[in-house]
Chain A
């Protein structure tokens, strides 16, 4: 069974936290600071964020005179303009491959997607001979400029969310390749296929056991949940 949760994963970071000192403030503040940087360009798309709020709390401010534009001292490691094109180019290629040779059961509105490459909605049809036969779902992908090094944010949207032991009623999916096992060798297509196969191998249509608690308390962004994976069977 999959749970979202803080168990093992939390232990791993305890040491990190201890080293870094106490967490500044509690419930309200961090939520607001993180929601300000949520979709579509989550965490740190460096150029945009460099001068703004939370991000400027770096340890080694390069030197007095150079406050905002100031990573000059250190060889620049921020995404360059070339990198900016890189994620776009990759997503364009993915879109083209998806449209010219759509995987069975999947489809996408190419025109709408090419208008905004950072936000894809894929239509997904339950495979024949499975518990989801004939059902139609929508998967939403959001990409930031660090894609494919950063995983996309993936969830079911719309008014029909599959009933499945690893899919919460708010559309969040507990699947390790979407967070800690994400690799840049994955793609929209391979994620869709993993989710399809997760649906197809389901033998008992039901919600996760902790569904109501999780849905009530989770962050809007499933990537902000520390998922705890321990089941490969479904």
Chain B
């Protein structure tokens, strides 16, 4: 631990050390992010649920019990990178994957998203940048619809940072649009006295900002896609509680929530 002594040095001069702290913190933050991105793909391979979770929680009775409960309902899990975009990325991947095989849902979804751009422009989103994201998003949607996309291609696409992030951004914009359009309703769910527009600018539109219930409700409602989230936490219930968004909807996407993070689940 030779570093300990060196670490103490800069504290001598308060002002100077403070500025260096900024740089230090950011550098370290960058390193942590890099470690995460080197270790965890944006979207991982499908893994056997019980095997994976049991191994992970071998010395944790509560989580082990919950893993068992979960495995009575789900076969597999697909991890996503914990980079703050995990809800959006997991949602998009899981739903697109479903659309590959479930053609019945495609038409309705296509109609909603192809209309979304004009709705967002009407709400005052800058047309220029919006179009960029919309086009990339629709390219992918159309490839899925025309049958010109395999599972492997979808997987590759979502692990291509540029394309994957373009999709995430567009979902963030759709979410923001929904929150602003129905601000009267959604304002009930946010703390403080921020306006809905300010909330969206700060918590929804920027990349890497984590999602809360309000993001999930708005996105699932905007796209009319039911999402079931399974909550795995330290609570003492033996079961992994489910929440459906929007309430009462038939889930098309199943996600596992563990504090701070979403992964994709596959039903039996």
Contact = CB atoms under 8 A, between A and B. Distances in A.
- The finding on whether chains A and B are genuine partners in a shared complex, rather than unrelated, reads yes
Interface of A: 5-6, 10, 13, 16-17, 20, 22-27, 30-31, 33-34, 43-44, 54-55, 57-60, 71, 74-80, 82-83, 86, 90, 93-94, 97, 148-149, 176-177, 180-187, 189-190, 213, 217-219, 224-226, 232
A33 B202 CA distance: 30
B165 A217 contact: no
B34 interface: yes
B194 to A, nearest CB: 10
Residue among A183, A185, A224, A232 with most chain B CB within 10 A: A185
B160 A26 contact: no
A186 B133 CA distance: 12
A125 B15 CA distance: 36
A190 B201 CA distance: 13
Contact of B161 (A60, A79, A94, A181): A79
Contact of B159 (A77, A86, A185, A186): A77
20 contacts: A20-B28, A20-B32, A34-B23, A58-B34, A58-B38, A58-B39, A59-B35, A74-B38, A74-B39, A77-B160, A79-B162, A83-B160, A183-B169, A184-B169, A185-B129, A189-B128, A190-B129, A217-B16, A218-B19, A219-B23
Interface residues of B, number: 59
B49 to A, nearest CB: 20
B179 to A, nearest CB: 14
B34 to A, nearest CB: 6
B22 A182 contact: no
Contacts, number: 158
Contacts of B165: 149, 184
Given A25-B6, A93-B132, A219 B25 contact: no
B61 to A, nearest CB: 24
Contacts of B148: none
Interface of B: 3-4, 6-7, 9-10, 15-32, 34-35, 37-42, 44-45, 81, 125-126, 128-130, 132-133, 155-156, 159-163, 165, 169, 172-173, 198, 201-202, 205-207
A76 B162 CA distance: 12
Contact of A77 (B17, B41, B132, B206): B41
B23 A224 contact: yes
A30 B22 CA distance: 11
A33 B159 contact: no
B48 to A, nearest CB: 18
A26 B9 contact: yes
Contact of B7 (A22, A34, A78, A213): A22
Nearest to A84: B162
Given A43-B30, A217-B16, A183 B160 contact: no
A20 B206 CA distance: 25
Contacts of B133: 184-185
